[in-house]
């Protein structure tokens, strides 16, 4: 997390009357009932609290190492489990794109996120299909001569989710509760959803087992729904230029829900299926249409969708009446306190 965000959140917390302690968690102890009794901190020693929030990232110090809550791996149909990132400079006055660009690579996809002063670039890939060295080389080639001397950062990702996120006197949030590869940038949305569910249940029912169960069920539903939507991106791919894309299309299993949606799309029963499966979907109707049609999946039943409606006059209106992205950002930062 960038330092400016960290200090913003810290200031907010202090204003609410919280005490901020900086220390390293060495471990935690549980009592006979299975609650966390205390943390062991490097400088403060034993530190007891009523409730604990595990936001220790992939290390999952409390929810996994302490409470031993199982982790369900999504690796059988979401292959990407590593990333390499290389930040590049952006000339100050160059136009800035308003969107993240995601581009298919030999064993995954590359992102380019334009920021005000630099571009965040990276390659999310499958270690079963590509080594870290190969991934870095491919990313450098993709970025061109400008990236030759820039440093690369490698990281591994654990893809899946906990069976329970709120367990007894502990809530796991963020990477400690699970992670789905960032193709649709859903991680912070899942953090927000978890917190909203938790706060809603806690404020109405306290730390009760059925409140925990309802919260866990909803968070799991969203995780699995997001997984299905991301898996569909890979399942519908039409590439045959590497084992990765062929494996993703032909060898990755799909959930019953996704299988039924794909079948319904092909047979022209898509609306019915969307209705029937709506309780287990994280993404709504328009997203599914955009995905299936955007991936070029058309059967004779979907013929009417083949001709996209274009509105050149709207594009022209936007170009004439709105500032470009760089000017808009400059305006906003000049106005912020
Ligand atoms: C390649 C990639 C791309 C992503 N893209 C997106 C995106 O586009 N959109 C999106 O919403 N999300 C994205 N995410 C996810 C986003 O980065 C995470 O959701 C977010 O960083 C979660 O933060 P976290 O606090 O759970 O974990 P982290 O950011 O890993 O923070 C964990 C913290 O715990 C601390 N810690 C660890 N061990 C100890 C210890 N023993 N004692 C004390 N402190 C400790 C660490 O110092 C760290 O500060 C992406 C993630 C990856 C890997």
| pLDDT (average), residues 232-256 | 97
The pLDDT, as a whole number, for residue 125 is 98
What are the DSSP calls for 95-143, one per residue?
---SS-EEEEETTEEEEEEE-SSEEEEEEEE-TTT--HHHHHHHHHHHH
Same domain, 60 and 196: yes
| DSSP 8-state class, residue 71 | E
In a domain, 121, yes or no: yes
Centre of ligand 1 from the C-alpha of residue 256, in Å: 31
The residue ranges of DSSP E strands in the chain, in sequence order, are 25-30, 36-41, 45-47, 52-54, 71-73, 82-89, 101-105, 108-114, 118-125, 153-156, 160-162, 166-167, 170-172, 178-179
- Residue ID of nearest Cα to ligand 1 atom 30: 57
The pLDDT, as a whole number, for residue 171 is 98
Say how far apart CA 28 and CA 101 lie, in whole Å.
42
In a domain, 24, yes or no: yes
The pLDDT, as a whole number, for residue 209 is 97
- Residue ID of nearest Cα to ligand 1 atom 1: 83
Same domain, 63 and 187: yes
Centre of ligand 1 from the C-alpha of residue 98, in Å: 24
Same domain, 51 and 178: yes
Total domains in the chain come to 2
CATH (domain of 29): 3.50.50.60
The pLDDT, as a whole number, for residue 241 is 96
Centre of ligand 1 from the C-alpha of residue 185, in Å: 13
Same domain, 15 and 47: yes
In a domain, 277, yes or no: no
- The tens digit of pLDDT for each residue in 259-288 reads 999 999 999 999 999 999 999 999 999 999
Q: How many CB atoms lie within 10 A of CB 12?
A: 10
The pLDDT, as a whole number, for residue 94 is 84
Is 310 a residue whose pLDDT tops 70? no
Same domain, 26 and 151: no
The pLDDT, as a whole number, for residue 142 is 97
- Close Cβ partners of 35 (under 8 Å, ≥ 6 residues apart): 168, 169, 170
Domain boundary among 191, 207, 223: 207
- The tens digit of pLDDT for each residue in 45-55 reads 999 999 999 99
The pLDDT, as a whole number, for residue 5 is 83
In a domain, 236, yes or no: no
Centre of ligand 1 from the C-alpha of residue 295, in Å: 31
The pLDDT, as a whole number, for residue 34 is 96
Ligand 1: nearest atom to the Cα of 24: 42
Is 311 a residue whose pLDDT tops 80? no
- The tens digit of pLDDT for each residue in 119-151 reads 999 999 999 999 999 999 999 999 999 899 999
- Residue ID of nearest Cα to ligand 1 atom 15: 187
- The tens digit of pLDDT for each residue in 317-331 reads 656 677 888 888 888
Same domain, 166 and 131: no
Is 305 a residue whose pLDDT tops 60? no
Ligand 1: nearest atom to the Cα of 83: 1
In a domain, 132, yes or no: yes
Predicted TM-score (pTM) of the model is 0.90
In a domain, 106, yes or no: yes
Q: Domain range holding 13?
A: 3-69+160-207
**Pocket residues: Cβ below 6 A from ligand 1:** 1, 24-25, 55-57, 59, 61, 83, 122, 124, 155, 157, 174-176, 182, 185, 187-188
Domain boundary among 156, 180, 197: 156
Same domain, 57 and 167: yes
Say how far apart CA 39 and CA 244 lie, in whole Å.
43
Same domain, 58 and 88: no
Same domain, 169 and 58: yes
Return the axis-axis angle of helices 209-235 and 243-250, rounded to nearest 10°: 120
In a domain, 38, yes or no: yes
- Residue ID of nearest Cα to ligand 1 atom 48: 56
In a domain, 188, yes or no: yes
Domain boundary among 189, 207, 225: 207
Same domain, 134 and 194: no
Same domain, 145 and 35: no
Same domain, 17 and 135: no
């Amino acid at each position: 997390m960038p330092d400016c965000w960290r200090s913003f959140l810290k200031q907010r917390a202090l204003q609410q009357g919280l005490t901020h302690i900086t220390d390293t968690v060495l471990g935690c102890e549980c009592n006979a009932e299975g609650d966390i009794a205390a943390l062991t901190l490097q400088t403060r020693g034993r530190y007891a609290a009523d409730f604990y929030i595990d936001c220790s990232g992939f290390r999952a110090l409390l929810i996994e190492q302490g409470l031993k809550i199982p982790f369900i791996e999504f690796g059988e149909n979401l292959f990407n489990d590593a990333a390499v990132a290389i930040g590049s400079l952006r000339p100050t006055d160059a136009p800035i794109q308003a969107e993240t660009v995601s581009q298919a690579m030999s064993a995954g996809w590359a992102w380019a996120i334009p920021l005000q002063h630099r571009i965040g670039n990276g390659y999310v890939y499958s270690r079963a299909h590509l080594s870290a060295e190969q991934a870095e080389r491919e990313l450098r080639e993709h970025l061109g001569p400008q990236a030759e001397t820039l440093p690369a950062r490698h990281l591994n990702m654990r893809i899946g989710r906990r069976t329970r996120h709120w367990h007894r006197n502990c809530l796991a949030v963020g990477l400690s509760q699970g992670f789905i590869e960032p193709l649709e940038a859903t991680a912070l949305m899942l953090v927000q959803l978890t917190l909203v569910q938790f706060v809603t249940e806690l404020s109405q029912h306290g730390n009760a087992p059925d409140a925990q169960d309802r919260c866990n069920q909803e968070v799991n539903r969203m995780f699995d729904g997001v997984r299905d939507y991301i898996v569909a991106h890979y399942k519908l791919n039409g590439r045959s230029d590497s084992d990765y894309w062929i494996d993703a299309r032909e060898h990755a299993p799909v959930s019953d829900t996704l299988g039924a949606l794909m079948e319904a799309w092909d047979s022209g029963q898509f609306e019915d299926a969307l209705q029937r499966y709506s309780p287990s979907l994280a993404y709504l109707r328009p997203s599914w249409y955009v995905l299936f049609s955007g991936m070029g999946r058309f059967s004779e039943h979907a013929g009417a969708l083949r001709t996209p409606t274009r509105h050149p006059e709207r594009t022209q209106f936007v170009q004439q009446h709105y500032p470009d992205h760089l000017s808009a950002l400059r305006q906003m930062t000049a106005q912020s306190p």
